[in-house]
Amino acid sequence: MARRVVITGLGIISPIGKNPTEFFDNLMAGRCGVCRLQTDFAEKLSVRIGAPVQGYDAADYFSKIKLSGIERFGQFALIAAEQAMQDARLELTAHERPRAGVSIGSCMGGAGTLEEGYIEIFQRDNPRVKPLSVLLTMNNAAASHVSIAYQLQGPNLTYSTACSSSAIAVGEAYRQIKNGYSDIMLAGGSEAMLTHGVMKAWEALRTLALEDAHDPAASCKPFAKDRSGLVLGEGAAMLVLEEAERAVRRGAHIYAEIAGYDSSSDASHITKPDAAGQTRAILNALRDARMQPQDIHYINAHGTATPAGDIEETKAIKQAFGDHAYHVPVSSTKSMHGHLMGATGAVEFMAAVMALHHNAIPPTINLYKADPECDLDYVPNEGRRNVELNAVMSNSFAFGGSNAVLIARRFNAV
């Protein structure tokens, strides 16, 4: 018999908050983390906006010795993991550690160190790079550091499926517990790719948003007629997942139950999204949750603000939800925190879980004139409070056609 999986701890460091409370308060207030980048390379960019973690100083969290072996994305993962573990009040015995694991998503791992190495070798003709370059850049470094920090001796998993990386990391962690392979999983994602080279590469792809002429914070406009693309962000989100009976026995605070998850591949194009593939993921997640479309009371959309992406996601929601599509609130929190790439699925699932927990729906900001082809209820500009929510969905649709959908519902111990 499949076991139930609940969420007992949350942790986040993001462009709009360095802990879950600050993050969700800013979401509900419509505060935006998108700004003009203040870096030494910003003037060399055509697109100079991003969503960095504001006021972050690694020395506030780590010793100098520790920092020599942990890249920025690993630092973010450890900060979010510590918050989640403390929030869950989780203390594991030696007997329990082999049944506790880690599952983290990241697109590029240590992008900053990789770029520094290229500069040293190819630009400065330096024959040497940092001795720990391999350990700093590898995608699984974040998961390994988290595993070591908390002596989690079960599965140590890393997923890299572009924008759906951390949604899949959370979903597969859920399956680990559901199917009896683990009892506890620390799951989420981390990304730190606001570097010169990465920004130039995204510029070349022509998917980045143009800077709003009046206000950089208004540049990301999901579902709006005048949207022009995505805004890159950075940060990490981590969730403690736990087998439900164990969580109840120890008196844990339970935010929600993960009710359903599934993934799909468009299998059609490396960059162009496809509503049919997205629809399959939505329907499969509903089937896993044993739910009907009308059971879902809020959708946190992938909503990147790209011209094609928002239309295809709207089509997918309509195809999966039928008439109910027009009755379920849908919002894109990327309008505020930007697109955290490999971390974005976990960030947005956390936003959905907190919406469920607080009976409050965050808005899609910068939405003043909707695209006629995007005609659902996108919660424009103002969040909604005191809304009865029993189940929520989070969509993550990636380059490469990798789709993932997560569903959470209120936990009932009966």
> Which amino acids are annotated catalytic?
163, 302, 339
Q: Is 414 exposed, middle or buried (0-12, 13-18, 19+ CB in 10 A)?
A: exposed
Q: Could you say which DSSP state residue 108 is in?
A: S
Sign of CA dihedral 53, 57, 62, 64: positive
Q: CA-based angle 58:59:62, to the nearest 5?
A: 85
Let me know: does 7 contact 240? Beta carbons within 8 Å: yes
Residue 175: left (phi > 0), alpha (psi -120 to 50), or beta? alpha
| 188/169 Cα distance (integer angstroms) | 6
CA separation, residue 163 to residues 114, 245, 397 (Å): 20, 32, 6
Paired tokens of 63: 């010793």
Paired tokens of 165: 């990386």
- Percent helix, strand, coil in the chain (nearest 5)? 40, 20, 40
Let me know: does 16 contact 336? Beta carbons within 8 Å: yes
Q: Could you say which DSSP state residue 386 is in?
A: S
Let me know: does 157 contact 102? Beta carbons within 8 Å: yes
| 194/380 Cα distance (integer angstroms) | 28
387 backbone dihedrals φ, ψ, rounded to 5°: -105, 130
H or E segment and range at residue 165: helix 165-178
Paired tokens of 216: 């950089």
Paired tokens of 98: 């082999």
Give residues with Cβ within 8 angstroms of 148, minimum separation 6: none
| 395/403 Cα distance (integer angstroms) | 8
Let me know: does 260 contact 354? Beta carbons within 8 Å: no
